[in-house]
Structure 1
Amino acid sequence: MASSSSSSSSSSSSSDIGVILNELTCPVCFELYKEPICLPCGHSFCRVCLETSWEKREADAGCVCPNCREVFPQKPKLKKNVIVANLVENMKLKKGKFGLGVEVQDAEHGDVNVKEGMKSGGSESYCELCNGEAAKRCVPCEILCCEKHLKPHQQKGHKLVDPRVKIEELRCVEHGKPILLYCKDDGSLMCVTCRGGQHWDHDVVGVEIAHAELKNSSRDAEDSLEEKRRLVCQFGNESVDLMKSEINKRKMEKLSLLGKQREKLEQQMEDLRQGKSTMDTALQDLESISFLQGSKDLLKRLETMSDFKSVKRTPLPVLDFSKEEKNLDGLIMLNKNFLEKIQKRQVEHPEKVELDQNNLRRLYGRSPSLDPNSAHRRIKISRDLRTATRTRTDNQYRKHPDRFDCWTQVVSCDCFSSGRHYWEVDVRSSSWWDIGICLNSMGRKGEDSCLGANPESWCLWKHNNKFSADHNDRCTSLSVPRDHERFGFFLDCEAGELTCFGDSRVLHVFRGNFTDPVKPAIGVWDHGGSVHFVHLLI
């Protein structure tokens, strides 16, 4: 019974010592006070700890209590706290009488014998209180504890870490004190002493609070990103559905338009067939061989329905038959007048009736396309294959046997050997050119390949506002009263004639054997100049 009373008394005494030790510990260095002083706010510190804290602050920041953060505009007089100093000395004496190696009971660690002076230098695998397996390391106490001896530290809110963590990693490098605070302003970890220095006016919180806030912030960021991803997916799905709906709507509109145009086209074809039947009946009553020769191309044009071929090449969104109707009406009117004149015997050669440029466009109009494989390297061809431009540098063309290598010329893809053909050339953007035709067999290499300088080519030539008609290196000067924007060419293969028009009048007529295949040709000689095949709306 006496032993139990003695044990209870010893435990109570140890608990009292633990409480007193906490009260006699400096809140800056966490050690027993050394020359304790008291500030007007009532908080005590080691003189050295307080003065060091104030020295690290700026001179105009005033003196701040490291504990309650009260600011003293003028440095207070530091007086020794005699009562605290005496208590510290008595505590040292009380501890000293047991000896450094003698076991005492510490209220920090319950009713367990702890050897004073035993720090974290012990085994990192065993509790420093009972030699059991260590579960955590207490940072403020610098001690390894098992699960049983963790409870007092947890109740006091001490920082606990994995036992494998070295205590040096959890201490401030500058002051050697435990890292307990986090500065939000510069993102640094620090001890209590650091707070009294350059961080005195910063937003400082405990490391646990900072850790919780960062975790919440990270979770909020993840939630925000997830919400944005959901919105992006939703927007993408809605966009795809909208595009599908719009595509289907346009498809139905185009199908409807196509059906209407098909009906109109079939009606026009029926009208043409009736017109052709009427024309065939009228022609059977005519005995003039000259009429048959002169109207052969017209009949061929109506029979082949070239106008409808041009309609088929037109993209669907711009299908418009008003122009075709106008052209058909013009053909019918021209044919009607033509028949009336033949019946009245008003002309001697019907094949030449009304062959001015307007009629030539209607009856024999062509829109040649340029052949890129024949273009000289300093001739640039437009995308629509109708414009030839002279450049100062070579264009990247591949080698080809049809390519001109000496003269900046190009021929068309179209080749004529029979029938009648009319086309026009726009020369407004060039002051030095030659335009005409050449045999498909004309050479493309060397100096003899120049248009008009050999027996295989016929052309108009312009330079320094002078015009001439050239063939086989012979030039015939032409009188052109003014500079024309367009020149027309009418080729009659069977008649062997190439008629050159300028401003609605005949400038020159070439004669030759044009039953051999010939091609329209262009030469551009001035840098930056352009010559253009006109697209005739027929």
Structure 2
Amino acid sequence: MASADLRDELLCSICLNLYTDPVILRCGHNFCWGCIDQVLNTQDGAGGYSCPECREEFQERPTLQRNITLRNVAERLRSTQPHEEEITGICCTYCIHSPVPAVKSCLLCEASLCDNHLRVHSKSPEHVLTDPSTSLEKRKCSVHKKVLEYYCTEDNACICVSCRLDGEHQGHRVEKLDEASEKKKKKLRNVLQKVITKREKTEERVRSVEERWRKAEEKASAEAERVTVLFLDIRRRQDDLEKRVLSEISRQEELLSLSLSDVIQKLVIKKDELSRKMRHIVEVCNMADPLDVLQDPDTGDLCDPEEGGGDEDTGGHDKTQDVDVDVITGMLHTGISDIMTYLQTISPAKPKAMGAQPPSVRSRPSHTQASPVSGTEYGGDGVIVRTGGAGEVGTYGEGPADILLNVNTAGNNLLISNDLNMATWRKETQNHPKTAERFLCNHQVMGTGRFSSGRHYWDVEINVSVLWMVGMCYPSIDRRGDQSYIGDNNMSWVLCGGQVCNNQYLVIHVGKEIKLRHQISSDRVRICLDYEAGRLSFYELCYPIRHLHTFMTTFTGPLHAVLGVYDGYIKISRSPTDMRDHHHRGNVPRD
């Protein structure tokens, strides 16, 4: 008892456990340091502080002094009685001075017994012994206060012998608890086996998903590294292209500066000469003697400026060549086309939409692929422009319909093929019916498709001829008179070539001809339309593809393809052809 009383004196009044790092207040009471610190933190400093045990108040937060002696005593007691805290099982009901583990429990006595008390316990049958348990009352019937011995299978309840013979379970099918327990265990084992099987399958799926995740991470990491390297290469190529274009601009600027500097020098000399003449004329006009005026020796050098030479003696500054924007634009388009070609040669993905820039012709498979322009298909280099079912080109992805030549617009010397893809010049008139749509100009024909939105392109194949023309026009273009010639009005934009052009390219709009610097190196041309951007571009399908010219305007209505040919043929391309074939045949493209 003395040991129990000593233990009570060493309990903290806050946590009711042996002191842990005890501290003492001015009033003399001891507490665990953590317990009293938490209490003081909850008290309002404005209303003062107080001891949790005696309620003595302090104006200021009390200083906590460690009680070393009390700490040592508590630690010694804790070390001499470790078994009290180590016993976590069921203890003997009759061992009241110190806890002793129980080995059996008596259902009749509702008590747990250690080895010593079990020896003296009654051995009569009504004293049923079981494994140690804290819920002995659950082992008895709540009605008859007898031991539960049976299991009613109809009501799924554990019952005593009185319940079976005289109670509400009379006549029910019952089993011994051990038998019912074994049946339930057997059933649970079957369920357990199924659960184990499902768990194993689930674990296998988890491993599979984790493996897939790991591979996805590795693939994503490798792809990120590949894309990083790709973009570094693209940026390097862009930087190189920028340097080349800026170098070309600087070169042209330097040449222009030298030319204009020479013109300025000559103009300064001319200005000084005119100033000298002005001064001499003023001096002569100020002479009072008529004889001096008439006999002035320098008068013969003076002349009316309108009678003298014009600006031709100043170096012809009006004829000085300006910065060649076409050359710069051509370098940009060629460089960008090379970058696109490079991307398509290294990327396993199908080409994607890239604006009005035409797709590369390098290394295309022969089977049909998705076109770089949405709503179109191509096989190799032969592009088939897909339009709406009624011939009106709308947004990408509408119903397909090929661009065909409109026989009702063909000139009388043009023979249109049965598939409506090719126009051939014939010396003999074809006796086409006279219609309001037909061109009086006998070498022109329009296409049937209408383009009023989106981005589209199509290819033509050109035979060596005296003249060929290809481009776009409004359907309201004149069909008779000088205004009906494509390119000679504001209703059409064309690219032309042939023998009459000395095998060079010309672009024509409103009758203004622009001679391009490239020689012909291919028999195929691509026409690209970006309707909303007002951009109509022409490309030579050589190896690599080469930009020729771009018209920039604002389109005000639907556009039609338009062709022209004299002494030869021109054809809307359908066959897949790799441009490298032209290179191997000696048709080497020029930059």
Range into which the TM-score falls when normalised by the shorter chain: 0.3 to 0.5
Q: TM-score by structure 2 length? A: 0.31
